[in-house]
């Protein structure tokens, strides 16, 4: 791992990020994550993907997927700040299997990819039975 850190440092990456990743790997299921607060514009449920505009993300439009803030930690009324895990490990209310996690309508997390979606964005990957690593991937337009 030292070689990777040296290479990362030489191109301007923050070596501390690799130390956090090492901790997550060493722990197996670390709780290392980054969270932010987003002002909701609609009532939101826990464990939903929301945008920086405070509404649910949807695969119907690239604009919605482009502005994803992360996964809500708790439910919240409209017009209040809600904690959102934007990066790192999210402890889920559900059970997940190995593989990517997507967002579907109304910000719902799923592991089932639908060819009916106009756009696809991987939100993260399963880390353990109830943990997801939030790692937003580029948007893909389906044809």
Whether 20 shows a pLDDT value over 50: the answer reads no
Are the beta carbons of 21 and 72 closer than 8 angstroms? no
Reported as a single tens digit per residue, the pLDDT across 30-70 is 558 899 999 999 999 999 999 999 999 999 999 999 999 99
Give per-residue pLDDT as tens, 87-106: 999 999 899 999 999 999 99
Residue 108 bridge partners (DSSP): 48
The residue among 142 and 2 whose pLDDT is bigger is 142
Residue 31 is predicted with a pLDDT of: 59
For residue 19, the model assigns a pLDDT of: 42
* pTM recorded for the entire structure: 0.77
Which of 10-19, 27-36, 68-77, 107-116 has the weakest average pLDDT? 10-19
Inform me whether the pLDDT recorded for 25 exceeds 50: no
More confident residue, 4 or 30: 30
At a CB cut-off of 8 Å and minimum separation 6, what does 75 contact? 43, 44, 45, 46
Element (H, E) at 89: strand 81-91
Q: What percent of the chain has pLDDT over 70?
A: 78
Rg of the Cα trace of the chain? 16
Per-residue pLDDT band for 127 (boundaries 50, 70, 90) equals very high
């Amino acid at each position: 791992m030292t070689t990777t850190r040296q290479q990362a440092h030489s191109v301007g990456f923050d070596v501390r990020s690799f130390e956090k990743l090492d901790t997550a790997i060493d722990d197996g299921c670390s709780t290392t994550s980054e969270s932010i607060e987003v002002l909701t514009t609609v009532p939101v449920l826990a464990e939903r993907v929301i945008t920086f505009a405070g509404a649910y993300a949807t695969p119907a439009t690239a604009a919605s997927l482009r502005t994803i803030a992360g996964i809500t930690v708790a439910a919240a009324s409209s017009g209040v700040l809600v904690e959102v895990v934007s990066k790192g490990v999210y402890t889920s209310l559900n059970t997940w299997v190995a593989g990517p996690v997507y967002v579907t309508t109304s910000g719902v997390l799923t592991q089932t990819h639908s060819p009916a979606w106009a756009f696809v964005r991987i939100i993260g990957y399963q880390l353990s039975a109830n943990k997801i690593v939030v790692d937003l991937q580029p948007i893909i337009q389906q044809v």
